[in-house]
Amino acid sequence: MSEEPETSPAAETPAITDTPPDRLCASPRSPHYDEAVLERGVGIVFEGVERTNVDEYCISEGWVKVAAGKSKDRYGNPLTIKLKGKVEPYFKS
């Protein structure tokens, strides 16, 4: 008589929250990259203005990284600059 432990379906699937993560990056090389969250769609309001060119953000530290024009580094990645201010991420629809 072997008893199997009961598992609920909720324990098998990750929970979807209504709040975006504290830190998120669009680059797959970053440890803060989360494909599931990015597929859901995240919008950023920075200093009261909606930004569409944000590469990375951090709510707790209050900054976003955006591309610096068309400049590229030696590996072909866009150069970014860090802007400090109030960051408000949200999920699109």
Write the DSSP assignment of 51-81 as a string of letters: ES-EEEEETTTTEEEEEEEEEE-TTSPEEEE
Compute the average pLDDT of residues 58-81: 94
Answer yes or no: are the C-beta atoms of 66 and 55 closer than 8 Å. yes
Evaluate if pTM is beyond 0.75: yes
Compute the average pLDDT of residues 73-86: 94
Task: Give the number of other CB atoms < 10 A from CB of residue 3.
Answer: 5
Burial (0-12, 13-18, 19+ Cβ within 10 Å), 65: buried
Domain residue extents for the chain: 18-91
Tokens read off for 30: 């970053």
Residue 13: pLDDT band (50, 70, 90) is very low
